[in-house]
Amino acid sequence: MNNDCLFCAIAAGTIPSVKVYETDAVLAFLDISPVEKGHTLVISKRAHSETILDTPPDIASELLAAAKTVAAGMMAAGFGGVNLVQNNFKDGGQAVPHIHFHVIPRAKDRHGPLVWASGSNPYADDAERNVYAERIRAGIEAAQAPLPS
Ligand SMILES: [Zn+2]
């Protein structure tokens, strides 16, 4: 991990985040500048790499599997759709040079392609942010639960 990296610090817990999903390998937390409410970032806790190009395949696989878990949770939580976005390099719109997947839930009335405008849908307050975090956490739990027999 990298001492000068914001997302390494978030992965280590030295900088707080609103977590929605965590394993030994990955952390998913709410973006502080959401494109849509519920906008979640998935990062590795195991390694620092900057873009998809320098990320080992096993780490990339863990990130994509976690992004899928979060996306499934969002759909179980009643959102209408979900977008996965992964930006690389400054010219590709990457804001933090530690690889991350964006998992962006879409409300049922938000038809059409994603409009990427960082921070365009801020939370009214911490309470609203926590409502979205809890909704996504509950959805992930529901999506992972075994089917009743
Ligand atoms: Zn890092």
- The pLDDT of residue 2 is 83
pLDDT band at 120 (very low <50, low <70, confident <90, very high): confident
- The pLDDT of residue 1 is 80
Is the model's pLDDT at 141 over the cut of 80? yes
Class of residue 96 by CB neighbours under 10 A (exposed 0-12, middle 13-18, buried 19+): middle
2 C-alpha to center of ligand 1: Å? 5
pLDDT band at 20 (very low <50, low <70, confident <90, very high): very high
100 in catalytic set:
yes
User: pTM for this one?
Assistant: 0.94
100 C-alpha to center of ligand 1: Å? 10
- The pLDDT of residue 103 is 98
**How many C-alpha atoms does 36 have within 13 Å on its Cβ side?**
22
* Nearest residue to 115 (alpha-carbon basis) of 43, 51, 39, 41: 39
Q: What is the mean pLDDT of the chain?
A: 94
pLDDT band at 113 (very low <50, low <70, confident <90, very high): confident
- The pLDDT of residue 127 is 97
* Maximum pairwise Cα distance, the chain: 50
Q: How far apart are CA 39 and CA 101, in angstroms?
A: 10
71 C-alpha to center of ligand 1: Å? 23
Q: pLDDT tens digits, residue range 25-77?
A: 999 999 999 999 999 999 999 999 999 999 999 999 999 999 999 999 999 99
